């Protein structure tokens, strides 16, 4: 695939040279709820389907013909699905050796035991690994010091990474920018040099659009890390999981982003020739010696389409052995990619909460991929009513998938909603609903869910927080066992033990103020039919935390009995419509009639936590850098525990303290800021993650 260009076509309304608008509303297919994936049988069929779906979204009034000139004889070849390595190796482990206190260290929050998830900060107990835009920083900690021992420059901007023993797998992203390649003039001549008008025979297969780059790094010598391989896949990162030393990636691919299929120019366009190679993504793999392999990531026979058309976008599931990255295995679905969930037995993909054309879905398709010796293969397809909130709304147990969804409508009668739990079991190639629990908490929506063994927990919200306890021991007959209503709502649920749940969520003041805050709660579910709120800690009104929507920002270190989360507490320092706020030297211009905030605190808050005694604030680590306390905002903040030491890590530096002496500041360091224009661009991109 050649350079992708968004161009003006993505703007929705496009202006012609004469000032008129050339907008044709897309014709949407009807959502029938049919659960089926169909494999493409030829390049011609794939191109025809793509042309059909792209035409629905075509925003130009000109008559554009996408000529089909694909060649089936050349379709099956390509390096996109080479033989894979053997099955997953033994789990590299998420915990390091125990320190002198015997407590070990915290790890990234994961949903399923044995299925690792990536993050921007990892630790092995003696070092911090920090993915900072285009850099991997390795920072030594301990012995009353924090010091950067090495760094690895990466291509693209930082997204996520895995740490497996002495190996780091960094996932970065490169984007394409908005420059149209070709304008076809009325006489058919081309202006500019782009791929849509490229000469015949241009068969380059290296990625030239937005790409996800997987860089495998040997960090056995922390002071001298070595890049072992760099593999570039065309697409945008959706999600990733690691089982043993095999990584599973889900990538979103939007061929040409309309810019090259429908170049800028409206009715002046020339008919285009479209081949399967223009639609399917490519890859490039470079090993430590510099040898590079390029090819097609997918071929037509590795791509499926849903029975209900879902746009021209594509999601690719790639399985890659960390020790043999060129031997990856890929499979694709031409549909709008949504959520991923992975157990030790299967990898699941759902479509999005919104259709490709911008409407809320009434049903959600679920695709199940079974692990094989080489990667994944399609195992089953199912459909449920409603929309799925996030990956924690799915959970597999004893081969059955539980899914929590919300349905809602808004019409002349107002807003109405309902919440549901479905249990799906595989029957041949179908994921069939074998049990369901429908219409919970009418008028409310799901805010969090968690499935643990034979039990389920559901939190919905409208004015108060109902926590539902669910008995899922009989898959054919899921039941609500208990219900508890408390103010506010939880957005993330962590099991502390068999009888207690730890949650983080929104605190809503009793006076109805809009200054919602952050609260931690412990629920006692010993009596499953009568759950109780046992303990609660409320941070200041108006407080905000990334952990409210990103579980990886929530660090629960059960061995140490502590929890850390990033928190920002703002203070309104001026709000007077009759008084101009003068320049205070911060560089911000004077403003009229606007509330001005200054962060009272920005950093990591740490609590000691137990089911018996509840919460006791242990310490706060302020992560602000420099004198400009008005505007600095980190792109990420993580709390990390190593023994009794706590580290607050941001893209700007590391600060620390000891749980044994919280009043005494520990060692810290401020990262050197990028100086070159290129580095600054990476820095800006990362600050906007």
564-616 residue pLDDT tens: 999 999 875 554 444 444 545 555 555 444 455 566 889 999 999 999 999 99
Q: Are residues 533 and 610 in the same domain?
A: yes
Q: Are residues 527 and 555 in the same domain?
A: yes
- The CA radius of gyration of the chain, in Å to the nearest whole number, is 26
Q: Of all helices (H) and strands (E), which one includes residue 680?
A: helix 677-687
Task: Give 545's pLDDT tier (boundaries 50, 70, 90).
Answer: very high
Instruction: Label the pairing between strands 167-174 and 157-164.
Output: antiparallel
Task: Give 371's pLDDT tier (boundaries 50, 70, 90).
Answer: very high
3-state secondary structure at position 13:
coil
**Domain end: 487, 519, 534, which one?**
487
pLDDT tens per residue, range 295-331: 999 999 999 998 888 888 899 999 999 999 999 999 9
Residue 396 lies in a domain: yes
**Domain end: 487, 509, 524, which one?**
487
User: What pLDDT is stored for residue 683 in this prediction?
Assistant: 43
Q: Are residues 378 and 395 in the same domain?
A: no
Q: Are residues 355 and 460 in the same domain?
A: no
What does the alpha-carbon distance between residue 605 and residue 588 come to, in Å, rounded to a whole number?
29
Residue 19 lies in a domain: yes
| CB-count burial class (<10 Å; 0-12, 13-18, 19+) for 151 | middle
Which range marks the domain in which residue 250 is found?
1-78+179-210+231-384
Residue 407 lies in a domain: yes
Task: Extract the tokens encoding 139.
Answer: 């920072």
Q: Are residues 604 and 647 in the same domain?
A: yes
Residue 11 lies in a domain: yes
Q: Are residues 411 and 334 in the same domain?
A: no
User: What pLDDT is stored for residue 186 in this prediction?
Assistant: 31
Residue 93 lies in a domain: no
Find the range with the poorest average confidence among 33-42, 225-234, 364-373, 393-402: 33-42
Q: Are residues 403 and 343 in the same domain?
A: no
Residue 168 lies in a domain: no
Residue 161 lies in a domain: no
**Domain end: 453, 487, 521, which one?**
487
Residue 128 lies in a domain: no
Q: Are residues 310 and 343 in the same domain?
A: yes
Is a pLDDT exceeding 90 seen at residue 385?
A: yes
Q: Are residues 529 and 608 in the same domain?
A: yes
Q: Are residues 687 and 569 in the same domain?
A: yes
Q: Are residues 378 and 429 in the same domain?
A: no
What does the alpha-carbon distance between residue 327 and residue 246 come to, in Å, rounded to a whole number?
11
pTM of the model: 0.83
Q: Are residues 499 and 640 in the same domain?
A: yes
What does the alpha-carbon distance between residue 590 and residue 582 come to, in Å, rounded to a whole number?
5
Better-scored residue on pLDDT, 157 or 625: 157
* DSSP codes of every residue in 172-187: EEE---S----EE-TT
Q: How many domains does the chain have?
A: 3
């Amino acid at each position: 695939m050649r350079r992708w260009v968004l161009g003006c076509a993505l703007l929705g309304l496009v202006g012609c040279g004469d000032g008129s608008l050339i907008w044709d509303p897309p014709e949407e297919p009807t959502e029938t709820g049919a659960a089926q994936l169909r494999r493409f049988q030829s390049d011609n069929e794939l191109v025809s389907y793509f042309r059909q779906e792209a035409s629905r979204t075509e925003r130009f009034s000109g008559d554009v013909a996408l000529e089909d000139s694909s060649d089936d004889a050349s379709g099956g070849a390509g390096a996109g699905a080479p033989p894979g390595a053997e099955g997953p190796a033994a789990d590299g482990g998420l915990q390091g050796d125990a320190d002198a206190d015997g407590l070990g260290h915290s790890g990234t929050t994961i949903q399923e035991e044995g299925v690792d998830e990536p993050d921007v900060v990892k630790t092995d107990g003696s070092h911090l690994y920090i993915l900072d835009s285009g850099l991997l920083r390795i920072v030594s900690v301990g012995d009353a010091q924090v010091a950067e021992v090495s760094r690895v420059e990466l291509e693209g901007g930082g997204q996520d990474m895995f740490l497996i023993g002495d190996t780091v797998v960094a996932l970065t992203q490169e984007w394409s920018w908005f420059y149209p390649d070709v304008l076809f003039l009325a006489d058919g001549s081309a202006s500019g040099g782009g791929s849509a008008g490229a000469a015949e025979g241009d068969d380059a297969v290296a990625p030239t659009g937005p790409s996800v780059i997987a860089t495998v790094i040997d960090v056995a010598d922390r002071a001298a890390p070595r890049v072992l391989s760099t593999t570039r896949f065309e697409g945008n990162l959706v999600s990733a999981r690691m089982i043993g030393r095999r990584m599973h990636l889900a990538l979103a691919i939007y061929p040409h982003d309309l810019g090259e299929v429908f170049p800028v120019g409206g009715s002046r366009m020339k008919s285009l020739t479209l081949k399967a190679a223009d639609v399917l993504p490519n890859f490039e793999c470079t090993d430590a010696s510099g040898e590079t392999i390029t090819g097609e990531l997918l071929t037509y026979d590795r791509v499926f389409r849903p029975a209900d058309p879902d746009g021209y976008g594509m999601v690719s599931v790639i399985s890659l052995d960390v020790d043999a990255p060129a031997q990856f295995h890929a499979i694709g679905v031409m549909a709008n990619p949504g959520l991923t969930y992975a157990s030790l037995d299967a990898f699941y993909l759902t479509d999005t909460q919104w259709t490709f054309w911008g409407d809320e879905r009434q049903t959600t398709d679920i695709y199940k991929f079974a692990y094989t010796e080489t990667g994944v293969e399609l195992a089953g397809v199912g459909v449920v009513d409603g929309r799925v909130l996030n990956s924690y709304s799915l959970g597999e147990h004893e081969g059955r998938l539980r899914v929590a969804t919300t349905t809602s409508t808004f019409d002349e009668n107002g807003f109405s909603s309902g919440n549901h739990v479905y249990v799906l079991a595989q029957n041949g190639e179908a994921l069939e609903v074998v049990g369901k629990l429908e219409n919970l908490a009418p008028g409310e929506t799901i805010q969090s869910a968690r499935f643990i063994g034979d039990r389920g927990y559901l939190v919905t919200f409208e004015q108060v927080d109902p926590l539902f306890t669910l008995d899922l021991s009989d898959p054919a007959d899921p039941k609500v066992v208990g219900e508890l209503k408390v103010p506010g709502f939880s957005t993330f649920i962590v099991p502390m033990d068999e009888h207690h749940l730890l949650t983080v969520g929104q605190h809503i003041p009793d006076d109805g103020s809009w200054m919602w805050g952050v609260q931690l709660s412990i629920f006692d579910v010993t009596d499953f039919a009568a759950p109780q709120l046992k303990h609660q800690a409320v941070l200041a009104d108006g407080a905000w935390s990334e952990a409210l929507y990103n579980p990886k920002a929530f660090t629960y270190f059960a061995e140490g009995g502590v929890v850390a989360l990033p928190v920002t507490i703002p203070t309104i320092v001026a709000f007077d419509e009759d008084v101009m706020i003068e320049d205070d030297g911060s560089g911000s211009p004077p403003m009229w009639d606007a509330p001005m905030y200054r962060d009272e605190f920005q950093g990591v808050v740490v609590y000691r936590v137990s089911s018996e005694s509840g919460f006791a604030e242990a310490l706060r680590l302020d992560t602000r850098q420099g004198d400009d306390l008005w505007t600095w905002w980190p792109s990420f903040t993580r709390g990390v525990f190593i023994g009794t030491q706590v580290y607050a890590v941001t893209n700007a530096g590391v600060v620390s303290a000891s749980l044994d002496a919280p009043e005494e500041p520990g060692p810290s360091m401020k990262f050197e800021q990028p100086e070159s224009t290129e580095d600054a661009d990476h820095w800006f991109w990362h600050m906007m993650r």
